[in-house]
């Protein structure tokens, strides 16, 4: 989650997300960050499969 917040803080065009509910897994696709172990879990896709 901290990586997602950092990415938003550093983005000069962060206003494009105004009024939206954001997820860390969705932002990882936009900003290309991963977990400390190198994985990129996407809980949104997981819940669609169950």
**Per-residue pLDDT at 46 exceeds 70:** no
Model confidence band, residue 18 (pLDDT cutoffs 50, 70, 90): very high
List the structure tokens of 35: 């977990």
Query: Could you report the per-residue pLDDT of 19-38, keeping only the tens digit for each?
Result: 999 988 888 889 988 878 88
Question: Dihedral through CA 37, CA 40, CA 46, CA 49, nearest 10?
Answer: -120
Q: What predicted TM-score, i.e. pTM, was given to this entire model?
A: 0.66
Q: What is the pLDDT of residue 50?
A: 67
Long-range interactions of 21-25: CB distance < 8 A, separation 24+: none
For residues 12 and 47, what is the distance between their CA atoms, to the nearest angstrom?
Answer: 32
Mean pLDDT of the chain: 84
For residues 10 and 4, what is the distance between their CA atoms, to the nearest angstrom?
Answer: 10
Percent pLDDT > 90 in the chain is: 32
């Amino acid at each position: 989650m901290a990586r997602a917040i950092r990415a938003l803080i550093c983005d000069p065009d962060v206003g494009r997300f105004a009024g939206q509910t954001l997820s860390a897994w969705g932002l990882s696709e936009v900003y290309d960050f991963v977990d400390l172990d190198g994985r990129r879990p996407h809980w949104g896709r997981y819940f669609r499969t169950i």
